[in-house]
Amino acid sequence: MSAMIASAAPALAVTQLVTNGGFETNGGNGQLGYNTTANGWYVDSPPGYQFLFAPGTADTTGANGQYGGLSLWGTGNGGLNNLPVSPDGGYFIALDGDFQTTGLDQTINGLVPGENYTVSFYWGAGQQFGFDGDTQQNLTVSLGTESFTTTTVTNTSHGFTGWMSQSYTFTATAPSEVLSFLAYGSLPVPPFITLDGVSMTAAPEPSTWAMMLTGFGGLGFAAYRRRRRSIAAAAR
């Protein structure tokens, strides 16, 4: 049956265009552009206030930056709720939305102008340990000159919103374009947006979906005919 499915439905070759979308290849906990790096990524105007955290460290040991240690509220340091590992697992990035705000960028190559590409990621809203007050936060995602902004969420003082999944479809205008993430957060400071599991793949054309539906429809009809033949043979 699996062989029939493979022959009846077109195979979709998915090419991952983002390098190190899970931030696992890195220089360890720290401030990006100051004392650590994440392979494939760079900061618009270093050093921005963007931090790399290993699993379980954001609300415990934290990370060191240009102004000393920094951590986020979570149950590990008396915060309102848990700061769990993202669905992607492993390391994640935290971007300050009010202080030294700058984009977290990666240059994406191999694009076809006019073609559509889907960018997916996990994000959440938190707050720096030691500060108080509710915040409204969002995240703007850009590819070249096209941008989308997530819904604005309210993060309760000392809280974390939990991880959310988001996808946007962009249309390429050049063979190489910059993919950028820029956090925004209202006062009181400092609000942080967490980011992980970034991926970017070509969006299937409508004709490809039509071929898939036709293929699966043919499989269903073939299975129906086989059942009819089996019933007829058993009745003889």
pLDDT at position 205 is 66
pLDDT averaged over the chain? 88
pLDDT at position 46 is 87
Q: Given 2.60.120.260, 3.40.50.300, 2.30.30.790, 3.40.1190.20, which CATH number is that of 13-203?
A: 2.60.120.260
**184 versus 10: which is more confidently predicted?**
184
The model's pTM is 0.83
Segment 167-189 shows an average pLDDT of 96
Neighbours of 163 (CB within 10 A): 19
pLDDT at position 171 is 98
pLDDT tens digits, one per residue of 91-144: 999 999 999 999 999 999 999 999 999 999 999 999 999 999 999 999 999 999
